Homo-oligomer: A and B are copies of this chain.
Amino acid sequence: MTPKALSFDVFGTCVDWRRAVARDTAMHVPGVDPLAFAVAWRGQYQPAMERVRTGARGYVALDELHLENLHHVAESFAVTVPDPAALNTAWERLDPWPDVVPGLTVLRRSVPIAPCSNGSIAMMTALARYGGLPWDCILGADIARSYKPKPEVYRACAAVLRLAESDVMMVAAHNADLAAAADAGLATAFVPRRDEHGPGQTVDLRAEGPWTVVAEDFRDLATQLFPDPV
């Protein structure tokens, strides 16, 4: 199966949010354990989006949710963040894993590549400029005005690219993301990121579903999908 386009999860799959957010936290909030703070901040991610997914709240871009979550986390750590808006832009400066830019560069010689992230178009644009991610266009939550794993987010990637769902392959380091993408009709590729959550990581260490492709990293994905690139 050769996809006609590739859509990518970003946080964890393309970029290392944990160390980058911790680095900015250390600069903005002295005296707090920056890695613990980053993990707790990220921990508020799913519950905040869930209120949008259930319809309890209208669509709000992830930038807003991150800022609200920052207030909650600061409260639970009993610290004051002098400039929350500035710290919130940490999510626009996340370093790509080493294989990502070279892998994407090879992949996009064959097909269009786009993020299908819960991050906003603004956040994904900033992140691409920071890390040199060579996207052809930016898809995801802002396009569907909903959050993964809602099926409409994956389906919107195909619809906007004017492709059949089965011609688009979702690439992610998270089995749950791929399960939802497969349910929405997309092809799937699993790439493990065994260090996303640090040394003690216990989840998503390996493929746990019948994914279309399992690759070691983005370069391996390129070799498997397009052995004879144009």
Contacts and interface: CB of A to CB of B under 8 A. Distances in A.
Contact of A162 (B61, B143, B160, B162): B61
Interface in A150-184: 160-163
Interface string A123-152: 011101100000111110011000000000
A109 to B, nearest CB: 10
A79 interface: no
Interface in A62-120: 63, 112, 114, 120
Interface residues of A, number: 23
A121 interface: yes
A161 B126 CA distance: 9
A188 B136 CA distance: 25
A85 B182 CA distance: 29
Nearest to A163: B122
A163 B125 CA distance: 13
Listed from nearest, the 4 A-B pairs whose CB atoms lie closest are: A122-B162, A137-B138, A125-B137, A121-B160
Interface of A: 61, 63, 112, 114, 120-122, 124-126, 128-129, 135-139, 142-143, 160-163
